[in-house]
Chains A and B, each alone.
Chain A
Amino acid sequence: MTTGNGQQRSGTAQVITRTSDRVRPLLEVQDIYAGYYVGQDVLKGVTIKVHEGEIVCVIGPNGAGKSTVFKAVYGIIPVRSGRVLCDGRDITNIPPQQALQTAGITIVPQLRSVFAQMTVHENLELGMFLSRDKDRIRERIEYVYDLFPRLKERSKQEAGTMSGGEQRMLEIGRSLMWEPRLVLMDEPSAGLAPIITKQIFEAIRRLNAEIGLTVLMIEQNARQGLEASDRGYVIEVGRQTYEGRAEELLADDNVRRAFLGG
């Protein structure tokens, strides 16, 4: 149904304002409540939409529940109320295996997630753990190597011995192995030097432009995150408080004061 990448859907008579109002979103988080302990919801009604081909950035203070949204979407913690839709299909509370297999969602978590004592090559292979098609796996590894030639150079190196930026690249590369429709990236710039951060955001933009990758990311680095994105959400104490186009948020006085350092 979705036509993707900002193309218009034919046969729609209504006046078209902007992409986000018109096409069915790829991911739709509808008013979810979720948390780690029974009776203590960290998320108290979060709603987020991501359209195909978009980069969407979630910002907000530490402990607001941003990472928790990802965990809820990915089935790592249970959603107690509300729904998660992918392409209009209800995927609330599906386990991670199915988030991958049926919804085509992969995730780059906030904490370091490479398999430190395995080679770069093995790490990428594991990105397709759920597939038994060896030729396909080889093909995808070559594909990722084309996107990140640096990883190809390091193919036989143990992942844990690489620099932080390279490990991030590997994590992103691994998340692309499955040819995902949507990648959730939790603070892709966390703990990286400014110059590396810049490279990571460039890589995300490039993937978006070249292969139409859809990205929902969380960023502490609010300004750069929004600058690399199409739209943004602000989450505070378990609710989203602002949403809009990235440039709107960047220009908004309240958002600027609270999250962009004035």
Chain B
Amino acid sequence: MSTFSQALINGIALGGMYLILVLGFSIIWGVMGVINLAHGEFVMVGAYLAWVANEWLGSDPFLVVLPVFFILAAFGFVLQRILVNRVIDRPHLVSLLVMFGVSIILQNAMKLIFSADFRRNDTVLDGAWSLSERVSIPVTKFMVLLVALAVLVALHQFLQRTRTGKSIRAAAQNREAARIVGIDINKVYAITFALCLGMTGVAGALISPILSVQPFQGPPLTLKAFAITAMSGLGSVKGALGGAMVLGIIEAMLALYVDKIGTNLAVVASFVILVAALVLRPQGLFGGLRPVDATAS
């Protein structure tokens, strides 16, 4: 029983990490119809920023989330204006390939700057809290979960209550109608992209003490974001929570009950979930902004 409890706790903690990881990816897809294949690379950039801040300034990754958010958000705003905007009206495949190109560029740029060495980032929020002799809470992941939940709540309130948030939801639900009530679609997309890249950078900073930081860490993270989004529904904020928890708990249980192949199997699990979700329930388990197979507009 206690090993099961431990796996459940690990799974929920992992789910927190996946939650902050998936939000930006899911919302860009849901609102703009762009599948951000460079998502994992933006996570990686956020992770490097946090690592550099720790190396040079001795800042804890939990303390740099705001600066990392704004740096990535600014990057996102510019990238949307000069690049994504130009392909957004084209078929899905075009934006997919463009973002794939961006991912390759970022991987190699980071490799040139930082080399391919694996880096470890540290945080003072480390170690484990024992609940009993054999059950404990991993502190770092638990703190990531708390931050992720805070971001989730803030994001939900922003989308539901603010004028800008409502314009983002409107554009996601019906672009033509949004345009005719006077919403500036390009502005909505720029804000969405900036916001989402900011959150994705934060995910990177928070993950940096958990996963080693290296230029090629992105693709499996993109895949996981993909799987969770397919499960949870595009741009669904509440769904993201459900999807992230499901994947986290599945992975933790696999690690517990299946020996030795833990990590590889986790990626396979993502793939299985992704395929099953796409085939069986394209609108997601939790109902998103639109079905996964909706067209770009």
Inter-chain contact A109/B170, CB cutoff 8 Å: no
Flag if A111 contacts B173 (CB, 8 Å): no
Segment 153-182 of B: residues with Cβ below 8 Å from A: 163, 166-167, 169-170, 173-174, 176-182
Interface residues of A in 56-84 (CB under 8 A from B): 74, 76
A114 touches B179 (CB 8 A): no
Q: Do the beta carbons of A109 and B180 come within 8 Å of each other?
A: yes
**Is the Cβ of A97 less than 8 Å from the Cβ of B177?**
no
Q: Does A162 contact B (CB under 8 A)?
A: no
* Residue A116 interfacial (CB < 8 Å): yes
Q: How far is the CB of B63 from chain A (nearest CB, A)?
A: 36
Report the minimal beta-carbon distance from B123 to chain A, rounded to whole angstroms: 39
Within 8 A of B (CB), among A68-127: 74, 76, 96-97, 100-101, 106-107, 109, 111-118, 122, 125-127
From known contacts A125-B166, A126-B166, A129-B167, infer whether A115 and B180 are also in contact, taking CB-CB under 8 Å.
no
B177 A109 Cβ-Cβ under 8 A: yes
A107 touches B180 (CB 8 A): yes
Cβ–Cβ contact B180 & A96, under 8 A: yes
Of B169, B173, B174, B176, chain A has the most CB atoms within 10 Å of the CB of B174
- Compute how far the CA of A116 lies from the CA of B179 in the bound complex, rounded to whole angstroms: 15
Whether the Cβ atoms of B289 and A126 lie closer than 8 Å is: no
Q: Decide if A174 is an interface residue (CB 8 Å cutoff).
A: yes
Q: List the B side residues contacting A113 at CB < 8 Å.
A: 174, 176-177, 180
* B177→A122 contact, CB < 8 A: no
- Chain B nearest CB from A137 CB (Å) reads 11
**Does A193 sit at the interface, judged by CB under 8 A?**
no
Residues of A within 8 A of B182 (CB): 96-97, 100-101, 129-130
In the bound assembly, the distance between CA atoms of A127 and B178 in angstroms comes to 9
Contact with A along B123-147 (1 / 0, CB 8 A): 0000000000000000000000000
Dominant SS among interface residues on chain A:
loop
Check if A118 sits within 8 Å of B169, measured CB to CB.
yes
Q: Are A126 and B170 in contact (CB under 8 A)?
A: yes
* A76/B181 contact (C-beta < 8 A), A115-B174, A117-B173, A126-B170 known: no
Q: For A106, what are the chain B residues with a Cβ–Cβ distance below 8 Å?
A: 180
Chain A residues, Cβ within 8 Å of B174: 112-116
Count of A interface residues, CB-CB < 8 Å: 25
A261 to B178, CA, bound (A): 37
Cβ-closest chain B residue relative to A131: B182
B173 near A174 (CB under 8 angstroms)? Answer: no
Contacts of A125 in B (CB 8 A): 166
**Closest partner residue, chain B, to A132 (CB atom):** B163
Pick the contact of B184: A97, A111, A115, A126 (CB < 8 A): A97
Distance from B31 Cβ to chain A, minimum over Cβ atoms (Å): 13
Residues from chain A with a CB closer than 8 A to the CB of B166 are: 118, 122, 125-126, 129
Known: A111-B176, A113-B176, A117-B289. A174 touches B181 (CB 8 A): yes
Q: Is B183 an interface residue (CB 8 A)?
A: yes
Contacts of A174 in B (CB 8 A): 181
User: In the complex the two chains form, what is the Cα distance from A227 to B178 in whole Å?
Assistant: 32
CA distance A118 to B166 in the complex (A): 9
Contact, CB under 8 Å: A109 / B181:
no
Distance (whole angstroms) from the CB of B136 to the closest CB of chain A: 41
Q: A126 contacts B176, CB within 8 Å?
A: no
In the complex, chain B residues whose CB is within 8 Å of the CB of A109: 176-177, 180
Q: How far is the CA of A130 from the CA of B180 in the complex (A)?
A: 11
CB distance from A104 to the nearest CB of B (A): 12
> Is there an interface contact between A96 and B179, defined as CB atoms closer than 8 Å?
yes
Pick from A74, A115, A132: contact of B177, CB below 8 A.
A115
* 8 Å CB interface, B164-221 against A: 166-167, 169-170, 173-174, 176-184
Specify the chain A residue showing the minimal Cβ separation from B287.
A117
Cα–Cα distance between A223 and B176 once the two chains are bound (Å): 29
Bound CA–CA A200/B66 (angstroms): 52
Distance of A213 Cα from B203 Cα, bound (Å): 52
Are B179's CB and A76's CB within 8 A?
A: yes
Top 4 closest pairs, chain A to chain B, by CB: A113-B177, A130-B182, A97-B182, A115-B173
A-B contact pairs, 15 of them (CB 8 A): A97-B184, A100-B181, A101-B182, A107-B180, A113-B174, A115-B170, A115-B174, A116-B173, A117-B169, A117-B289, A126-B166, A127-B181, A129-B163, A129-B170, A132-B163
